[in-house]
Amino acid sequence: MASLQEPWLLENGNLKGSSKEMRHGRTAHNMSSSSLRKKSDLTLVSKVKCGMLRLLLTNLQEVILGTKLSVLFPAIPLAIAAQCYGFGRPWIFALSLLGLTPLAERISFITEQIAYYTGPTVGGLLNATCGNATELIIAIFALGQHKVEVVKYSLLGSILSNLLLVLGTSLFCGGIANLGKEQKYDRRQADVNALLLLLALLCHMLPLLFRISGASASLTAVPTLQLSRASSIVMLVAYITYIIFQLVTHRQLFEAQEDSDEDDGDVNSEETPVIGFRSGIVWLVGMTAVVALLSEYVVGTIEDASESWGLSVSFISIILLPIVGNAAEHAGAVIFAFKNKLDISLGVALGSATQISLFVVPLCVVVSWMLGINMDLNFNLLETGALAISIITTAFTLQDGTSHYLKGLTLLLCYVVIGACFFVSKTPLNHGNVIDLGVNSEVGVITA
């Protein structure tokens, strides 16, 4: 292995920090994704004489074949071919979704590799920023096509999926697999995330309540938009403070989950990086570009898929997009729950939901503001109600620091009911933020 490590050691020089310090830059998302990785057999690659060619082949093998989801990579060229040759647009949508699944896991892997060279603090910041890169890119492309409702639906779906589906499945499977053991987790992390999620919920509910309490939609539209933009700035400030809290001032609260994994080979198998710093940057840029391309395909074909499959855009965006797009991360959370490592599972589910609520959603509002697009935080009555019940239910579920399978089953059943609600809902995509309480009959449907 020394001959294989030499090219990227020459490329990057010395690593920053010990392997113990480098693990501080890892998040629960990274540790969750690591459960789906597999060691590459570099026997044949090591026999290549040319150093540059050996480095290239090593990178290809580690990045492309270093995951159990590598079987889904052919969906990427198939999606591009389907787009170029005019295949059915529902096929383009489905293939693009499948292609996004391994890319999301690989971006997590690459950011972790880069974190080995940048040190724990910068690495943690990079992981916190790129943790939900797929959702952010899809949202930005949807904003570029003025599909504000798709943005809201997809981000809402990601939050609901993490709080109810991922966390529920993790608690249920962990409880079933560890019936004879008492399952405990660090309440401090759960309390911090629950508090921030309640702040995000307040920022989502106020624009809705403001719109409902107004005399007419025409009089409250502009103030609601202004309130949403102000609330978005507040949420971004809260998220920045949360990052400082997590990486600097109270790092020990978030290191407990790593310290408990000292004997876990799946988590700590990679003591040293397997690709170089410059190679990692190139891979990160390249994969982000591919994610952007597939995201454009998804956004452009979602309505055709909705019509062809007989499913509403709200159901596809809230249920299907988050499940497929984050399948790797979700599977990792469940795997660690089976191992009775609930701190990692909770870190994945709650951390991702917090990041989307306090970072991705307000960032989309700010970006739409810069683009001259009117996006507010009013997610409509049904959607905001589902979000409120989900956050409150999750907070109650995690309040005692222990878990059993009934808690997970309850969260899963909540998700099933919400999914059924949006399955039967046939609300038009461009219905805007109309609130019909049976009083203001003059309010019309806002068209694009």
Report pTM: 0.82
The pLDDT > 70 percentage for the chain reads 75
Classify residue 127 as left (phi > 0), alpha (psi -120 to 50) or beta: alpha
Of the listed ranges 51-60, 87-96, 194-203, 359-368, the one predicted with least confidence: 51-60
pLDDT at 205 over 90: yes
pLDDT at 228 over 90: yes
Q: Which residues, at least 6 apart from 153, have a Cβ–Cβ distance to it below 8 Å?
A: 313, 314, 317, 318, 383
Q: 386: pLDDT confidence band, cut at 50, 70 and 90?
A: very high
Name 67's bridge partners. Answer: 37
Could you report the per-residue pLDDT of 359-383, keeping only the tens digit for each? 999 999 999 999 899 999 998 899 9
Could you report the per-residue pLDDT of 281-314, keeping only the tens digit for each? 888 889 889 989 998 899 889 888 888 888 888 8
Q: 445: pLDDT confidence band, cut at 50, 70 and 90?
A: very low
pLDDT at 75 over 80: yes
pLDDT (0 to 100) of residue 144: 87
CA–CA dist 392, 384 (Å, integer): 12
Q: Which residues, at least 6 apart from 342, have a Cβ–Cβ distance to it below 8 Å?
A: 170, 171, 174, 183, 184, 185, 336, 403
Measuring CA to CA, how many Å separate 390 from each of 353, 358, 412? 11, 16, 11
pLDDT (0 to 100) of residue 258: 46
pLDDT at 54 over 80: no
pLDDT at 8 over 60: no
Q: What is the mean pLDDT of the chain?
A: 79
Q: For the packed helices 133-144 and 89-118, what is the interaxial angle rounded to 10 degrees?
A: 130
CA–CA dist 372, 55 (Å, integer): 46
CB 301 within 8 A of CB 92: yes
Could you report the per-residue pLDDT of 20-30, keeping only the tens digit for each? 444 444 555 55
Could you report the per-residue pLDDT of 92-104, keeping only the tens digit for each? 999 998 888 888 7
User: What spatial distance separates the first Cα and last Cα of the chain, rounded to whole Å?
Assistant: 59
CA–CA dist 434, 115 (Å, integer): 45
Could you report the per-residue pLDDT of 270-281, keeping only the tens digit for each? 457 777 888 888
Top-confidence residue, 56 or 21: 56
CA–CA dist 191, 234 (Å, integer): 20
CB 376 within 8 A of CB 207: yes
Name 184's bridge partners. Answer: 402
pLDDT (0 to 100) of residue 446: 40
- Give CA angle at 386 (175, 162), nearest 5°: 40
Summarize the confidence of residues 417-423 as an average pLDDT: 93
pLDDT (0 to 100) of residue 72: 85
